[in-house]
Amino acid sequence: MDFDFRTFSVGDLVAADSRVAVVLDAYGIDYCCHGNEPLAEVCKRLSISSEGLARHLKIHLRNQSSPKFYFDFWPMGLLASYIERKHHRFIKVQVPLLVRLFNEAMEHPSESAGSLPELREIFWKVAEDLLDHVAREERILFPYLRKMETNDRGEIPFAASHFDTVRESIVTLFREHHKEGACLQDLRSVTNGYKLSIHSSYWERLIYPQLEAFDKDMKTHLHLENNILFPKALSAAENVSSLV
């Protein structure tokens, strides 16, 4: 990357090279749900030296191997399938697992003191809605996106009347993503970044690593949809609509 990082939005920066996510995470910069914000403005708002961050990014990239995938260049159908098979499957396993762990912890109140009741309440805000969110993407939006992509090759016409359905679906999902991102931030805050101490309870030691894995996967999942897949979909929908 031989360019000025500060001229990019944080979402576009991670879309261009996924390796920068590690550095942005270290600075507490949200590229998942606030990806449209220019990096220079983020630095100003968070009182971060933009020059120092740019140097850190260059050093990090210079010492890392190339990314495994360049998702920004993937067709919509391929990216949607990847999200389904990797991130949706993870959610379908991890959410029920965490629900079960929290329920078991609450059955042993003497062993589940500390942060667990608050964490359970935060997680509950997103758990049920998240499973419904994933199901709607797989049942409604992602099939539309695959049809739109086929239309670009002239194989199957995609009705322009579906444009409003695609747009409204994405707007709704964006709104839900912001709620999910806020819950992740609350989880990080309550757990101090999922750090355990010698005073941590048995259930905290069991649940914190699972929450951290959930958080890590969700950040990538939200980034892929908010900053790459959904913008591609909106652009494609507008192109289809303009043909009529």
Task: Specify the pTM.
Answer: 0.88
Angle of CA points 143, 146, 150, to nearest 5° = 140
CATH, domain range 5-62: 1.10.3910
And the tokens for 127? Answer: 């758990």
Q: What is the pLDDT of residue 235?
A: 83
d(CA 123, CA 76): 30
Q: How many CB atoms lie within 10 A of CB 215?
A: 17
d(CA 105, CA 113): 9
The HSE-up count of residue 73 (CA atoms within 13 Å, CB side) is 7
- Digits of tens for pLDDT over the chain (244 positions)? 455 677 789 999 999 888 889 999 999 999 998 889 988 899 999 999 988 888 888 898 888 888 878 899 999 999 999 999 999 999 999 999 999 999 998 887 666 567 888 999 999 988 888 999 999 999 988 988 887 776 555 555 555 666 777 788 888 999 999 999 999 999 999 999 999 988 888 899 999 999 999 999 999 999 999 999 999 888 877 766 554 4
38 in Cβ contact with 13 (< 8 Å): no
Enumerate the domain spans of the chain: 5-62, 73-242
Q: Can you give the three-state secondary structure of 69-133, one letter per residue? A: CCHHHCCHHHHHHHHHHHHHHHHHHHHHHHHHHHHHHHCCHHHCCCCHHHHHHHHHHHHHHHHHH
